[in-house]
């Protein structure tokens, strides 16, 4: 597992964060977080999936290009933004793996008291412009937050 703070330069990060936090971002409601349906919900935006291709315009994809480029353009299998709304208490959404092979990166858009927790107990707090990379078969869970209106991350899976 690797953790990098201040992953993007300030200009690229500000453009990405401003877009994802704006009222122009076309979030889609999901009736579940790990399984659909489950007792939770989230909003997502699928930038790219290897089966479906690009879900967005080149202009929108350009917001995540700096991250893609910094990861040295691996073979991406999916790129998806997740938005969880504030809850009264922290809710963990259940351990899962993203894929059986490959790598996963979680890029944090905003700082809040939400986190990513790994089965071994390691907890990565949501801090803006931080990225964590790990093997896709490692069990982890995300959480909601209680101190901000929303928690936003972008999940990258690649070979």
Q: What is the pLDDT of residue 50?
A: 84
| Residue 99, CA distances (Å) to 48, 77, 140, 155 in order | 15, 10, 12, 12
Q: Where are the domains of the chain?
A: 2-158
State percent of the chain over pLDDT 90: 79
Q: What is the pLDDT of residue 23?
A: 93
Global pTM?
0.94
What CATH code would you report for 2-158? Answer: 2.60.120.620
- pLDDT tens by residue, 59-117: 888 899 999 999 986 799 999 999 999 999 999 998 999 888 899 999 999 999 999 99
């Amino acid at each position: 597992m690797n953790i990098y703070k201040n992953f993007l330069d300030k200009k690229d990060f500000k453009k990405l964060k401003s877009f994802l936090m704006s009222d122009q971002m076309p979030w889609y409601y999901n009736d579940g977080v790990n399984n659909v349906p489950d007792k939770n919900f989230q909003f997502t935006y699928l930038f790219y999936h290897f089966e479906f291709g690009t879900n967005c315009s080149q202009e929108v994809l350009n917001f995540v290009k700096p991250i893609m480029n910094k990861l040295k353009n691996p073979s991406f299998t999916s790129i998806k933004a997740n938005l969880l709304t504030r809850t009264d208490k922290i809710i963990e959404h259940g351990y899962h793996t993203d894929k059986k092979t490959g790598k996963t990166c979680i890029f944090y858009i905003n700082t809040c008291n939400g986190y990513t927790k790994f089965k071994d107990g390691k907890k990565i707090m949501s801090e803006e412009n931080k990225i964590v990379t790990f093997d896709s078969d490692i069990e982890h869970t995300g959480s909601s937050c209680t101190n901000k209106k929303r928690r936003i991350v972008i999940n990258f899976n690649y070979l």
